[in-house]
Amino acid sequence: MKLVLLAALLGIASGAVHSPNHISLAGNLCDPSFQIGGKCINLVTGWGWPTAFITDNAAVSVLGSVGTDDSFHLGNLLVNSLFYYGVLSVAVGLGKQIRSR
């Protein structure tokens, strides 16, 4: 249970890591060559590692900053937590193997 809680905390804490260049659709006030279906294509910042679980909502948010109007992706947060759980499980397993020798 401790590993699950620690992995969840690490997953949430990874929100401090930002990764640029996530594609977002926003508004329609741009050159038509930058539009898909009448919406503008923007490259926005995301937060989280190994996958971003918070991304800028380019239509209403100030680009490059996190706010309440940004997009939160629970599935990506779960992926991050599972990643950290896997890493912690391997580390604990290796530690037990080394101690038993």
The 10s digit of each residue's pLDDT in 7-44 is 999 999 999 998 877 777 766 667 777 777 777 777 78
Question: What's the pTM value of the predicted model, to 2 decimals?
Answer: 0.76
What is the rounded average pLDDT for all residues in the chain? 85
pLDDT of res. 74: 95
* Across 48-54, average pLDDT: 91
Which of these, 68, 25, 19, lies nearest to 48 by C-alpha position? 19
More confident: 90 or 31: 90
Separation between Cα atoms, residue 7 and residue 22, nearest integer Å? 25
Separation between Cα atoms, residue 45 and residue 24, nearest integer Å? 9
